[in-house]
Structure 1
Amino acid sequence: MTVSTTLADTISGRVLVGDDIPVAYRADRSGNRPDGEPRVLIIAANVDDVRRAVSFAADAGLSVVVRGAGTGLAGGASAGTGSMVLDVSRLDRILEISPTDELAVVEAGVSAAVLDDAARRHGLRYAPDPASAAISTIGGNIATNAGGLRCVKYGVTGDSVLGLNVVLADGRLLTTGRRTVKGVAGFDLTSLFTGSEGTLGVIVSATVRLQPLPVRTVTIAAHFDDVEAAASAASAVLAARVRPAMLELLDAASVREAQDFLGVRTDAAGAFIVAQTDGFGAEAEAEVVAATFREFTSRLTVGADAATADELLAVRRAALPALQRHGRVLIEDIAVPRSRIADAVRRITEIADRHASRIFTFGHAGDGNLHPIIVIPEHDDAAVERAEAAADAIFSTALDLGGTITAEHGVGVLKRRWLERELGPDSVEIQRRVRDALDPGGLFNPGKVL
């Protein structure tokens, strides 16, 4: 069975084979590269292309690795020997926006930023706001149940997903969920596929919830003497029973790198928190946030204009690209109970010293999701070994504090060996049974997650 005679003539999109497949399709942003090369690349133009590609792969004995924008950070889109890469990024239409029902129907290749822009024309917005919102696809966001800056108030991607269309291993197109706000008929298959990392089927479209644009937004930023004080301030804000839409933390080293990357000249020093409150009670909540911060620092900035917000948030968004200038980065995404944020930050600092590794810590303090970023100089094998040991210690810390090894990036390849320690053998076994029931031939993303 050859691609040219059985598939290429039936696909509306593109079919590439062997050496014609760009090397970028072997890996995602994690940099994980499996052995060998993918055999086939399908750049699907529509849902029928996806169904034909999946059926062909099953007949030809190829595994299917689904790919959107390739922004994943856990190796979930890495593709090696015996694989078909199925690129769904060209399924990029917004099929419907319903202002009355406050929902949208979108194909998997639409980015969160594009949908958000379209929703704003109707006085609405798409709340999930991953750092990669401008380039990552909603299909990929759903597959990893991605988080983002607004998670503390609006939840992760899955909290905005009402229903899905998914191509199964036998080529059928399954519709899950509904358009209503409530509904409990049958098992929640939408949640089953959300966060499944391409192991159960190919997400081709989604019905997602939209939110009203907030009538007011206030941004509060503060600098602290050290990251432990900043983490304590973040915990204190949450203990004050306010729910900011955003509560982001950066340690001092991350702030310096981000400011240098942006070319910002400032005398502000130390760790940094930027918070936002929104809605009709934005000012009242902002007063509580600011008063709480003042218990830890006097260096505050409060503003209600969009320009101030953009300027302050630019530092947070620049943190990762700033660090990527200095070599390879291991981007972790642990989460701990919000009461243990300061403990986690303190232990990460100790881990960096113990393993002689450069670790920069920032993340979504509002929901306990921290990103300890380990920077590894190029061509330094010893630094790689120290970094891997440090990452193991970070995962242990997260679990010891009652947290998780991954809050939004997924398990993929890189965290498989930690999964059973977190979930336990019974949970892993049940999940494997579910996977086998939906994909008995092991077609989708073998070697990932479980």
Structure 2
Amino acid sequence: MDSELIARLRRDLPEGRVLTDPAVTAGYAHDEAEWAPHGSPAAVVRPRTAEEVQHVVRACLDHGVPVVTRGAGTGLSGGANAMDGAVVLSTEAMNAIKDIDPLERLAVVEPGVVNDDLRTACAGHGLWYPPDPASAPWSTIGGNVATNAGGLCCVKYGVTRDYVLGLQFVTGTGELVRVGRRTAKGVAGYDLTGLLVGSEGTLGVITEVTLRLRPRRAPEHTVAGHFASVLDAGRAVTAVAAAGVTPSALELIDRYCLEAVDAWKQMGLSTEADVVLLGRTDAPGRAGDEEAETMRRCFEEAGATWAARSTDPQEADALFEARRLAYPALERLGPVLTEDVCVPKSAVPEMLGRIHAIAERHGTLIANIAHAGDGNLHPLLITPPGDEPARVRAQAAFHDIIAEALALGGTVTGEHGVGLLKRDGLRAEVGPEVMALNRAVKDALDPRGLLNPGKVLGPRAPLGTRY
């Protein structure tokens, strides 16, 4: 690291913003992606204003040092991983909710605002922010925007991109700009706001987000089904879609996940089923009752060993809490390599069957949780700590799952992003012509290639290369 850069950052920014102690910066070196490579940042900067972010980016441009933007570090693709000598720009201190406008139904927030904190603040105004990743208690809006996060509600209400009206960000040339709008409609110019959502910090450093809100919704009806196999549960998912029901959530949890949650939290959930399917509907009045009954019937007709509507709200909430706890519970057993492929709803049963075959072929334990209602599957590949052959087998299984998802007309990532782990998968999915278009966009917004280099598209190739 250029000592002159460190001196400049300390001079331009208030005291305490720049951290260089290796014992501290090591905690900012990577996200939660298992086995994604990372280096050691030379400095971590924690700005509090957009202007301070601009100072950091301009200083790094002048010294040719990469900038890796980081939110809460809950990502699962290596998208926030540092490389040796980089500056990690942490947005954790930019955590103000600047405005909640009940009339226009929008919120203006800084990127470090935690998802659940925003949802709580909105509830106080009778409003609701739908995107709800399982990491909502910890992940930040900036990180959610960077990966276009989804969650349990997205089967009905869409993903983060559907709620981002506008952004303020610092470009790869150090300019502080605004894109988007605060109005309900607007088609002026290209959709640069949508372009930034999901770009994983490779096109700009987000400093403010304007979000669309919805009115608070009606109470949900919950339906639970027990199944003897993931294939039967997958058939139930297809049946619900075929019946014309759009649930507000439709989640799958297998026995491995339930047992892990029980071992951790003693919730008593893993004694009665190999797979649990959880459905919810928030349709108001009689429509909600009818949709809940249709889901229950679909579960039974698909082979559920038991299916019923929940009459106890606390019991229903506990089931969905178990779904959110599944990943951290499994992490307690050993390293977990997390997938998030997405396939057409009609292909869910087939994809679950192929995942089972991949697990057997590679001798790898694969637990399954899923946003099953929209085909977004999260196979969790679990290995014993320190078992190198198991790691190699798990990584091979990881790539096979990607290949099978693509073969079924799916995508390599539904919500976690490409980061480092899925760059090869992205190339296989979109092909060389589209990769070249992506690279052209990157070069236009970040001509020096210093914003989160190597992520998503991979290292910059020589001029004229076909991707």
Normalised TM-score (structure 1): 0.97
Of the candidates 2, 5, 8, which is equivalent to residue 7 of structure 2? 5
Matched residue, 2:42: 39
Q: Helix, strand or coil: the match of 2:231?
A: helix
Uncovered stretches (5+) of structure 2, i.e. residues with no partner = 458-467
Alignment of 1:7-406 (within 5 A): 7-12=9-14, 14-17=17-20, 19=22, 21-32=24-35, 34=37, 36-266=39-269, 267-280=271-284, 281-295=287-301, 296-303=303-310, 306-406=313-413
Distance 2:248 2:343 in 1: 19
Farther off after superposition, 187-196 or 261-270: 261-270
User: Any conservation in 1 of the 2:166–2:181 contact (CA below 8 Å)?
Assistant: yes
Distance 1:65 1:35 in 2: 11
User: Any conservation in 2 of the 1:99–1:122 contact (CA below 8 Å)?
Assistant: yes
1:230 partner amino acid: A
Deviations 1:48-72 (A, max 9, x none): 1101000010011100000010111
Alpha-carbon distance, 1:32 to partner? 4.5
Distance 1:297 1:41 in 2: 52
Distance 2:341 2:397 in 1: 13
Distance 2:145 2:437 in 1: 22
- 1:394–1:62 distance in 2 versus 1, CA, 3 Å: same
Distance 1:226 1:234 in 2: 13
User: Any conservation in 2 of the 1:225–1:270 contact (CA below 8 Å)?
Assistant: yes
User: Any conservation in 2 of the 1:18–1:37 contact (CA below 8 Å)?
Assistant: no
1:113 partner amino acid: D
Alpha-carbon distance, 1:153 to partner? 0.3
Q: Helix, strand or coil: the match of 1:75?
A: coil
- 1:406–1:36 distance in 2 versus 1, CA, 3 Å: closer
Of the candidates 434, 443, 466, which is equivalent to residue 436 of structure 1? 443
- 1:270–1:4 distance in 2 versus 1, CA, 3 Å: closer
Of the candidates 426, 431, 448, which is equivalent to residue 419 of structure 1? 426
Distance 2:94 2:308 in 1: 42
Deviations 1:184-219 (A, max 9, x none): 111000110000000000011111111111123111
Alpha-carbon distance, 1:34 to partner? 4.1
1:271 partner amino acid: V
User: Any conservation in 2 of the 1:33–1:79 contact (CA below 8 Å)?
Assistant: no
Distance 1:426 1:368 in 2: 27
Q: Helix, strand or coil: the match of 1:294?
A: helix
User: Any conservation in 2 of the 1:352–1:390 contact (CA below 8 Å)?
Assistant: yes
Deviations 1:231-290 (A, max 9, x none): 110111011111110000112222222233220235422210111100313222111111
Q: Helix, strand or coil: the match of 1:273?
A: strand
Alpha-carbon distance, 1:144 to partner? 0.4
2:274 partner amino acid: G
User: Any conservation in 2 of the 1:94–1:110 contact (CA below 8 Å)?
Assistant: yes
Q: Helix, strand or coil: the match of 2:167?
A: strand
Alpha-carbon distance, 1:303 to partner? 2.7
User: Any conservation in 2 of the 1:51–1:172 contact (CA below 8 Å)?
Assistant: yes
Identity %: 46
Uncovered stretches (5+) of structure 1, i.e. residues with no partner = none
Alpha-carbon distance, 1:305 to partner? 5.1
2:368 partner amino acid: T
2:79 partner amino acid: G
User: Any conservation in 1 of the 2:222–2:281 contact (CA below 8 Å)?
Assistant: yes
Of the candidates 446, 450, 455, which is equivalent to residue 448 of structure 1? 455
User: Any conservation in 2 of the 1:217–1:304 contact (CA below 8 Å)?
Assistant: no
Alpha-carbon distance, 1:115 to partner? 0.5
Distance 2:369 2:23 in 1: 39
Distance 1:89 1:341 in 2: 37
Deviations 1:104-140 (A, max 9, x none): 1111000110010001011111100000001111001
User: Any conservation in 1 of the 2:17–2:47 contact (CA below 8 Å)?
Assistant: yes
User: Any conservation in 1 of the 2:225–2:306 contact (CA below 8 Å)?
Assistant: yes
Distance 1:312 1:33 in 2: 31
User: Any conservation in 2 of the 1:33–1:80 contact (CA below 8 Å)?
Assistant: no
Q: Helix, strand or coil: the match of 2:109?
A: strand
Query: How many residues end up aligned between the 2 structures?
Result: 450
Distance 1:35 1:352 in 2: 27
Deviations 1:19-77 (A, max 9, x none): 35431111111145646421121011111110100001001110000001011111111
Distance 2:313 2:206 in 1: 35
User: Any conservation in 1 of the 2:359–2:366 contact (CA below 8 Å)?
Assistant: yes
User: Any conservation in 1 of the 2:364–2:393 contact (CA below 8 Å)?
Assistant: yes
Q: Helix, strand or coil: the match of 2:332?
A: helix
Where has structure 1 moved over 6 Å in runs of 4 or more?
Answer: none
Distance 2:76 2:36 in 1: 12
The two structures, once aligned, show a CA RMSD in angstroms of 1.5
Distance 1:251 1:261 in 2: 16
User: Any conservation in 2 of the 1:18–1:38 contact (CA below 8 Å)?
Assistant: no
Distance 1:304 1:423 in 2: 46
Distance 1:324 1:95 in 2: 36
